């Protein structure tokens, strides 16, 4: 059985090998295993590209797991850090290190 390699751009499992490179039919991304660095782009809820150090705004009230803390809509977060997962960013809010989903952020 052939191992399925998820797409490095959209993380979908629906990929195939066409003889020279891998292809994702969902986002049309093509790559080879020889590529040293595969760039993954993090995007906010509006589709804007996020980078390390950006300032973003929370678009929805968010309850923090295992805490009574609530991050209110409109909270500005400065100096985000991208993670290996393109759908998450690290940041500090009220002195606590928190990981937020990019779908709840806007630039």
**DSSP assigned state of 29:** -
| Amino acid 1: pLDDT | 42
For 35-91, what is each residue's pLDDT tens digit? 544 556 889 999 899 999 999 999 999 998 888 889 999 999 999 999 888 899 999
Continuous segment of H or E residues that includes residue 81: strand 81-82
Please say whether the beta carbons of 50 and 87 come within 8 A. Answer: no
Q: How far apart are the first and last CA of the chain?
A: 43
- Confidence class for position 13, pLDDT limits 50, 70, 90: confident
Sorted by where each starts, the structural domains of the chain and their CATH numbers stand as 1-39 (2.20.25.10), 42-106 (2.30.30.40)
- Confidence class for position 3, pLDDT limits 50, 70, 90: low
């Amino acid at each position: 059985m052939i191992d399925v390699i998820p797409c490095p751009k959209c993380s979908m499992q629906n990929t195939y090998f066409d003889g020279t490179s891998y292809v994702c039919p969902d986002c049309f991304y093509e790559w080879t295993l020889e590529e040293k660095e595969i760039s993954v782009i993090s995007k906010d809820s509006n589709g804007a590209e996020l980078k390390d150090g950006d300032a973003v705004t929370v678009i929805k009230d968010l309850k923090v797991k295992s805490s009574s803390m609530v991050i209110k809509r409109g909270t500005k977060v400065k100096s985000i850090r991208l993670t290996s997962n393109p759908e998450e960013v690290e940041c500090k809010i009220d002195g606590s290190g928190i990981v937020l989903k990019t779908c709840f952020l806007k630039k």
